[in-house]
Amino acid sequence: MTETLSNIELTRLWVEKLVVGEGLCPFAHPVMDKLHIEESTSTDLETITRSFLSLLNEMQLADDNDLPTALFIVTRALSDFDDYLDWLFVCEDLLEQSGLEGEIQLASFHPHYEFEGEDADAMTNYSNRSPFPMIHFIRENHISEALKTVTKPEAIPERNKRHMQRLGKEGLLNLMPELAESAIFVKK
């Protein structure tokens, strides 16, 4: 009998095994033990957006060392990638309006993420495919510090795409079989 993971547990495992374990994000390992994951189970976009703003406010008020990074996952809405992108643009506008642009950066992940110009089934998209629609809140000062230790940071996205191509779907599922029943592989 296999144990069913909560949405937050699955997200944390995805970060540990794929993002950190496969080296997709050189900034993640140092703050992994303080990673905060918040889940919105709402289907109402206004409620989800209020929860996003609440987490943004929490990040603003918290000490950098206490809350260095956070993931906001949406588990019952925004399954359509285009709808997610529309909402992401709203969130980026809200970040700018809050005066936190330059302090906090938003990174986007989605089960059906597609890079512009890439085929929908291309493995390159899997570097940004996550079990749930999510936004990663990253403190700019932590990125600046991490960049001091990374050679050619501008090459990270292309390196990750190549890594996912080498890994392939079978390799990804061998690495993390828990994703087999996730929205990454099960289209709803």
Q: Which helix H or strand E contains 175, and what residues bound it? A: helix 156-175
| pLDDT at residue 85 in the model | 98
The DSSP element (H or E) to which 13 belongs, if any, is: helix 7-14
**Gap between the terminal Cα atoms of the chain:** 25
Count other Cβ atoms within 10 Å, centred on residue 112: 16
What is the pLDDT, as a whole number, of residue 152?
86
User: What 3-state DSSP class applies to 56?
Assistant: helix
Nearest CA to 67 among 142, 16, 8? 142
Q: What is the pTM of this model?
A: 0.94
CB 48 within 8 A of CB 74: yes
Kindly report, residue by residue over 72-114, the tens digit of the pLDDT.
Answer: 999 999 999 999 999 999 999 999 999 999 999 999 999 999 9
Three-point CA angle 185, 171, 23, nearest 5°:
100
- Determine the pLDDT at residue 1: 44
Nearest to 67 by CA among 77, 76, 56, 75: 56
**Contact present, 129 and 120 (Cβ < 8 Å):** no
Q: Give the pLDDT confidence of 118-165 residue by residue, as tens digits.
A: 999 999 999 999 999 999 999 998 877 777 777 888 899 999 999 999
Question: Alpha-carbon distance 129 to 115, whole Å?
Answer: 10
Assess contact for 8 and 73: CB atoms under 8 A: yes
What six digits make up the tokens of 40?
A: 């919105």
Burial of 154 (0-12, 13-18, 19+ CB in 10 A): exposed
Give CA separation, 117 vs 24, 51, 82, 122, in Å. 21, 32, 15, 10
